Chain A
Amino acid sequence: MALPPTTTSRTTARDYDVCIVGAGIAGALVAYKLGRAGIRTVILEAGRRRPPPPRMDYMESRLRGEDPWFTDDPDRDVFTNGGEIDYRLNHNRVKAVGGSTMHWIGYTPRFHADDFRMKSRFGIANDWPISYDELETYYGEAEVELGVAGADDNPFASPRSRPFPLPPFPIGYEERIVAEAANALGIKFHTMPQARNSVAYGGRPQCLTYSVCRTCPIGAKYSADVHVALAEATGNVTVLSEANVTRLETGAAGKVRRAVYIDAEGRESDCAAGTFVVAAHAVESARLLLLSASGAHPHGLANSNGLVGRFFMEHRRQNRTVHLDRPVYPHRKGFVTTFSEQYHHVDRATGAAFWLYGESGGAWYTHIVDDVVARSGLWGEELAEHLRKRLAGEYGRTLVLGSNAEPLPSESNRVELDPDVKDRFGNPCPKLFYSLSDYEHTAYAAGDEVMHGLADAMGARGVGPITPGFGGHHAGTCRMGNEPERSVVDRNLKAHEVENLYVVGSSNFVTLSIVNPTLTIAALSLRLGDHLTGRRGANGRAG
């Protein structure tokens, strides 16, 4: 049930130079840059700040098979679907200080140079207004900020100008089985870059393989609350959590004057600033611009061309469980160390791109424990021996092979406002329209053929059915571009139509590549930070 704010009395936060909406990785990195440059900045974050102590509780919850990071406020985070896919939005995002990096898996491959020039290279999709080369230095900077462990052993990657800051994680025992089979088929596996400490780094400890990475209890995996804290430590950045921004209001000059938000006590407040940066992830960024419709902007802010919310993209993945005759000793870590971008490097004019990985698979042992405990009535040594037999016979002889397909931008995949369903504050909730394209289906079929070949090469005694899933990689909705009629923001991420409004994050993506988006989000955010501080010239290029 939608509830309005408990009071309409308005309080005004003090003025800031910059107001950022969203304390995920994009907002955190922009704020960090601004704070270091002495620019007074406020971040308004809808979610709560979850300090370190509960992380142990979260780990316990994860061990029970739950994910404590999913929404703690379903009335706030209500959404609907209108497309072919019944997309579970709240299982693929986190609202909290630190955003979705609070439960991400931590993989940080870079996009390939071709991902930025799909139209000119392959005649499909669109080109970005910036090239890989323009972003390359920011990729390197992002790797240093996040602490990326990796090795320069990927023959399919685009050139890099600096080494990884941390050494790579060695390949896992079970993954070696996959990589060796792939090698026999001529498929090259290489290191997975990841923002996880292979050695102590950035004041955070080395990974100790708790195997519950989405709820890493010691902070060995990077999460954006790190840069929120660093930004606050500059003394120039203020973070207001549980501040749900409901609209941006413009003034007579057409500029955004203030962000209106509802605080934790249900009071409506506002925040004035000279510049506004919307960094609320692809769904909520678009929704906020649409919610900010006014007489001067009847279709929403920066939306006279109707493209806000359009070109929504996501990675749909497919897995198959492979049953082997030998133990693979799974679940001794929670991440993959190797994967293959060999099929990233295909001619997309005739084929479709995907990436390939193999990892610990099958159910955890806990269901076997539960079953034996519930049915046996044993205890002590007798129970231990019976459990040992069951575990030795049934557990740890499966791997999961997976492929992630590249989506192409489609105008019909979109985020709209649903006038019929309101959130807790009485605002229309986001409505998603999401379908798969023929291009993705082609990629899945090609990926599946390779997975079957790999299973055969491993001597599998059985292959399970396809298990589909999603990456939680929302993108598009506020795409960047040089043409105001075909994009929402320009190459510097400034809204074409609003002088002091920027949008940053995966919402800017023109294409989504095959790999995880977070390092590209980080690179774009660091680039915007430099643009806003004016340290590298107005065009955003290194000067």
Chain B
Amino acid sequence: MNVADRTETSGSMPHDGSRSPDSPRSTITRRAFIAGSAAVVAGTGVLGLHGAERARTSRLPRLDTDTGTGTLTELEMLTVLALAEVLVPVRLLPSRSECERVVARAAAREPGILREYRSAAALLDRQASRSGSASFAELPLADRDRILDGMLWRYHITDDSSLSDHVARVSRRLERVFQSEEERRLRNLVVPDLLRRLYRAAAPQLIGYGNLPGVPGDPREYTLPPRGA
């Protein structure tokens, strides 16, 4: 949902509390009282969450751009690529070498990325060792997904953006209580960063594009609807 959609939703609400002259007179019933009280409690809760959300935003993990750039070790890179395979369906992923290039370039050029990816790789490998595996990369895809499921604290979205937002806020509050700093950095920094980088090329495939920005393509494809559309 975009901002315009939210505005439209707001616009359907009454503009004020006044009744029109011909509306029926009513008395407060017990059911109405309970409903009203519940609404007040819920409203207070929502306002509280809004406040908490504002406070939380300032405490979200941030990329430390004072840390240096550099190169991931071969094992670290394997773990990050194994993470990429869980995050993005393999049919949409760029080639393994392209994924490696994207990750290596980010680590080498963007301050702070190397540290986050390195830390994430260590965390994932530790989690894998608890499952008896030597590394995250050696686990089957389903097992890797299970490990992520335990750490990413999904806040499932729905078609109702306001509900989705509230679920997300609750989830994010809880993560501060139950998750380690390492896990929070994985969830808030590494996973979104990797997803954005990989979907930059992969997203148009979802709507049938064969020609992708930044990737050489068939120079005649733009004259027709995409083959997959």
Chain A contacts to B: CB under 8 angstroms? 57, 59-60, 63, 170-173, 176, 198, 206-212, 218, 327, 329, 331-333, 364-366, 368-370, 373-381, 383-384, 386-388, 391-392, 394-396
Contacts and interface: CB of A to CB of B under 8 A. Distances in A.
Contacts of A388: 206-207
Given A59-B214, A60-B214, A173-B225, A380 B86 contact: yes
Contacts of B196: 366, 369-370, 373
A377 B168 contact: yes
B87 interface: yes
Query: What 9 pairs across the A-B complex have the smallest Cβ distances?
Result: A208-B216, A332-B222, A388-B206, A211-B213, A377-B155, A333-B222, A332-B211, A379-B87, A373-B195
A368 B204 CA distance: 11
Contacts of A375: 157, 164-165, 168
Nearest to A330: B222
A374 B214 contact: no
Contacts of B105: 60
Given A171-B223, A369-B195, A370-B196, 15 more contacts: A172-B223, A206-B219, A209-B221, A366-B200, A369-B200, A375-B157, A375-B165, A376-B155, A377-B168, A379-B86, A380-B88, A380-B89, A383-B87, A383-B88, A387-B206
A211 B153 CA distance: 37
A369 B199 contact: yes
26 contacts: A60-B105, A170-B220, A173-B224, A176-B223, A210-B217, A327-B207, A331-B204, A331-B213, A332-B217, A332-B222, A366-B200, A369-B200, A375-B157, A375-B164, A375-B165, A377-B152, A377-B168, A378-B157, A379-B148, A380-B145, A381-B89, A387-B199, A387-B206, A388-B206, A391-B206, A392-B207
Contacts of A327: 207, 225, 229
Interface string B156-194: 110000001100100100000000000000000001100
B191 A379 contact: yes
Contacts of B88: 379-380, 383-384
Nearest to A171: B223
A332 B209 contact: yes
B156 A377 contact: yes
Contacts of B87: 379-380, 383
Contacts of A370: 196
A395 B207 CA distance: 9
A357 to B, nearest CB: 16
Which of the listed residues B89, B168, B206 has the most CB atoms from chain A within 10 Å of its own CB?
B206
B13 interface: no
B152 to A, nearest CB: 7
Nearest to A217: B214
Given A212-B213, A331-B213, A394-B2, A376 B206 contact: no
A509 B203 CA distance: 45
A209 B217 CA distance: 6
B154 interface: yes
B212 to A, nearest CB: 8
Nearest to B165: A375
Nearest to B157: A376
Contacts of B168: 375, 377
B203 A369 contact: yes
A217 to B, nearest CB: 8
Nearest to A367: B2
B226 interface: yes
B92 interface: yes
A170 B223 contact: yes
Contacts of A209: 211, 216-219, 221-222
Contacts of B145: 380
A377 B154 CA distance: 5
B28 interface: no
A212 B214 contact: yes
Nearest to A376: B157
A332 B192 CA distance: 25
B34 interface: no
A173 B224 CA distance: 5
B215 interface: yes
A68 to B, nearest CB: 12
Contacts of B195: 369, 373, 379, 383
A378 B156 contact: yes
A33 to B, nearest CB: 32
A368 B1 CA distance: 10
A377 B213 contact: no
B206 to A, nearest CB: 4
A188 B201 CA distance: 36
Given A332-B211, A365-B204, A379-B191, A208 B223 contact: no
A210 B215 contact: yes
Contacts of B109: 57
Contacts of A364: 213
A384 B206 CA distance: 8
Which of the listed residues A329, A366, A383, A386 has the most CB atoms from chain B within 10 Å of its own CB?
A329
Contacts of B211: 209, 211, 332-333
A176 B222 CA distance: 11
A443 B219 CA distance: 35
A73 to B, nearest CB: 20
Contacts of B192: 373-374
A121 to B, nearest CB: 38
B222 to A, nearest CB: 4
Contacts of B214: 59-60, 63, 210-212
Contacts of A172: 222-223
A176 B192 CA distance: 38
Contacts of A332: 209, 211, 217, 221-222, 226
Nearest to B105: A60
Contacts of B200: 63, 366, 369
Contact of A329 (B2, B89, B92, B209): B209
